[in-house]
Amino acid sequence: MDEQKKSVVLSRTTEIKPNKKLRVMEALNGPLRMLPVIFALVVIWVIFTILNPAFVSPRNLTTLSVQIVNMGIMAIGLFLVLLHGELDLSCAASSAVSATIAAIFCINKGLPFIVGFAACIAFGALIGAVQGWIVTQFGAPAFIITMGGQMALEGLLLLLLSESTQISLVNHSLTVFTTIYLPTWLSYIVLAVGVAFLFFLSYQSYSQAKKNNLPVKFANKVLFPTVGVLTGGIIVLEIMRKYKGLNLAVLLLIALLAVFAYILTQTRFGVHLYALGGNPEAVRRAGISVKNTKWAAFIISGAVFAFAGMIAASRLQSVSVSSVDDSIMMNSIAACVLGGASLSGGKGNIWGVLLGALVMGSLTNGMYLIGAETFTRLIIQGLILVVAVVLDAFIVNSSATKR
């Protein structure tokens, strides 16, 4: 994003011109980090389109976009946890239980939508708070604590649904998230507002850079990002428009991604999360509360998991004792890793998570479309994940700048 800044040379350096291969590796390890996953996505899309042209039909692309929302949102929550070097295995159970709380409040108790929704998010945050408190207070490994949490929450789900094994949400307002499609005019207004925000923020960066005498170009800093997002947005909306339009859940996923992109790159909290993944002791010595920062991340991700659960319930139009979907969790972790996150923390960016979710989602959707068996899909998804991680390790190790 800041090519300008990167190329500034403070003073003389004796540099041996790296060879071509090395330079490619370095670029892949640096500014072009996202290229492999974009490439993978393009390849997947091309193959599926050749096998079945319906893959790129507006109808299927709309379906695909709605399908990845649940996984994408869960992956956002997981990414927050991965970033500071932890893992949350309770996310699937946590989102199922949170959604069930909403269903009980709204359907069984007849409370209004907003109460059920708030209770759902609050419950998710509470789960995150409890698990995060245990992890940070006792220095316990999150992997194990959240595995315990997952079992306990699955038990809680059975308890909550012990009378009826499922609660139907059909025709209830809790399903708005996936049933509403935005009219074209409204989706364009939303796009305009989003682009205006982006323009405002990038212009602010630009004028700050000017004020501090840093070399910046208006085109690179403001114009290209804004125009790029505007163009991309128009393309997406025009495709969606050919079917039913933009689904509310998809809009919420993108909005959530944008909000977290801002938090992670533009706020102190975000930098501290990255720093924690790099060297927690350095963060502690810098006078930052490691416990509180990690705890906050657990609480926020808990709320995000609950939201993912709400979306899942809305799409399935019900919550049930079998709502805990471990494959969604695995796919979400895979999405994070494909998008550049590392299980040891401190790496990746949130848009990579979206790309990762698109890869996993496209595979599921496309395999189904071409009538492949589930086993084929699972094997291929597994292989792609392994190849992606191996490729990443290869790039990191081959780039000379790695210590």
| Footprint on this chain of another protein (rule: CB under 8 A) | 2, 5-13, 15, 201, 204-205, 208-209, 211-214, 266-268, 271-272, 274-275, 277-279, 281-289, 346-347, 401-403
As measured in angstroms, the least distance from the Cβ of 221 to another protein is 10
C-beta of 267 vs 327, nearer to another protein: 267
Check residue 164 and report its DSSP letter: S
Closest CA to 320 of 107, 118, 113: 107
Closest CA to 254 of 358, 337, 347, 179: 358
d(C-alpha 187, C-alpha 184), whole Å: 5
C-beta of 274 vs 305, nearer to another protein: 274
As measured in angstroms, the least distance from the Cβ of 62 to another protein is 35
C-beta of 162 vs 213, nearer to another protein: 213
- In the chain, DSSP finds a helix count (H) and a strand count (E) of 18, 4
Using an 8 Å Cβ cutoff, are 395 and 29 in contact? yes
Q: What tokens appear for 197 in the block?
A: 């925000």
Using an 8 Å Cβ cutoff, are 98 and 108 in contact? no
Using an 8 Å Cβ cutoff, are 395 and 25 in contact? yes
C-beta of 165 vs 204, nearer to another protein: 204
C-beta of 159 vs 196, nearer to another protein: 196
The DSSP-derived string for 225-248 is HHHHHHHHHHHHHHHHHTTT-EEH
As measured in angstroms, the least distance from the Cβ of 1 to another protein is 10
d(C-alpha 307, C-alpha 121), whole Å: 6
As measured in angstroms, the least distance from the Cβ of 19 to another protein is 18
As measured in angstroms, the least distance from the Cβ of 38 to another protein is 22
Query: Would you tell me how many other CB atoms lie within 10 Å of the CB of residue 167?
Result: 23
Q: What tokens appear for 207 in the block?
A: 């004028």
C-beta of 294 vs 347, nearer to another protein: 347
